[in-house]
Amino acid sequence: MKKIEMVDLKGQYQKIKERVDSSILNVIETTAFVNGPEVHQFQKELETYLGVKHVIPCANGTDALQIAMMGLGLKPGDEVITADFTFAATVEVIALLQLTPVLVDVDPVNFNIDVEAIKKSITPKTKAIVPVHLFGLAANMDEIMAIAEEHNLYVIEDNAQGIGADYTSKDGTKMKTGTIGHVASTSFFPSKNLGCYGDGGAIFTNDDDLAHTIRGIVNHGMYVRYHHDVVGVNSRLDSIQAAVLRAKLPLLDEYNAARRNAARKYSEAFAGVKNIVTPTGFCNNTQTICDVCDCHVFHQYTLKIINADRDALVNHLNEKGIPCGVYYPIPLHLQKAYRDERYKEEDFTVTNQLINEVISLPMHTELDDEQIDFITKTVINFIEKY
Ligand SMILES: *Cc1c(COP(=O)(O)O)cnc(C)c1O
Q: Which atom of ligand 1 is nearest to the CA of 132?
A: 13
Average pLDDT of span 258-287 = 86
pLDDT of residue 291 exceeding 80: no
Q: What is the pLDDT of residue 288?
A: 56
Q: What is the pLDDT of residue 295?
A: 82
Q: Which atom of ligand 1 is nearest to the CA of 64?
A: 9
Average pLDDT of span 99-109 = 96
Residue ranges of E strands in 22-77: 54-58
Q: What is the dihedral of CA 340, 346, 351, 355, to 10 degrees?
A: 100
Q: Which CATH architecture has domain 9-250?
A: 3-Layer(aba) Sandwich (3.40)
Q: What is the pLDDT of residue 298?
A: 95
Please give the share of the chain, as a percent, with pLDDT higher than 90. 92
Q: What is the pLDDT of residue 292?
A: 59
State the pLDDT confidence band at 54, using cuts at 50, 70 and 90.
very high
pLDDT 10s digits, 340-369: 999 999 999 999 999 999 999 999 999 999
Q: What is the pLDDT of residue 22?
A: 96
pLDDT of residue 77 exceeding 80: yes
Reply yes or no on whether 192 is catalytic.
yes
Q: Which amino acid is at 144?
A: I
Does the domain made of 252-383 have the CATH classification 3.90.1150.10?
Answer: yes
Q: Which of 32, 294, 281, 275 is nearest to 167 (CA)?
A: 294
Q: What is the pLDDT of residue 127?
A: 98
Q: What is the pLDDT of residue 290?
A: 61
Cα–Cα distance list, 223 to 60, 220, 227 (Å): 21, 9, 7
Q: What is the pLDDT of residue 286?
A: 58
State the pLDDT confidence band at 168, using cuts at 50, 70 and 90.
confident
pLDDT 10s digits, 19-45: 999 999 999 999 999 989 999 999 999
Is the pTM higher than 0.85? The answer reads yes
Rounded Cα distance, 84 and 78, in Å:
18
pLDDT of residue 252 exceeding 70: yes
Q: Which atom of ligand 1 is nearest to the CA of 188?
A: 7
Q: What is the pLDDT of residue 170?
A: 85
Tell me the pLDDT of the chain averaged across its residues: 95
User: Annotated catalytic residue: which of 127, 176, 192, 248?
Assistant: 192
Average pLDDT of span 300-321 = 97
Rounded Cα distance, 209 and 207, in Å:
6
- Contact present, 147 and 129 (Cβ < 8 Å): yes
Tell me the best of 187, 196, 233 to mutate to test the pocket of ligand 1, counting ligand atoms within 8 Å of each CB and taking the most: 187
Query: How far, in Å, is the centroid of ligand 1 from the Cα of 86?
Result: 9
Domain boundaries, the chain: 9-250, 252-383
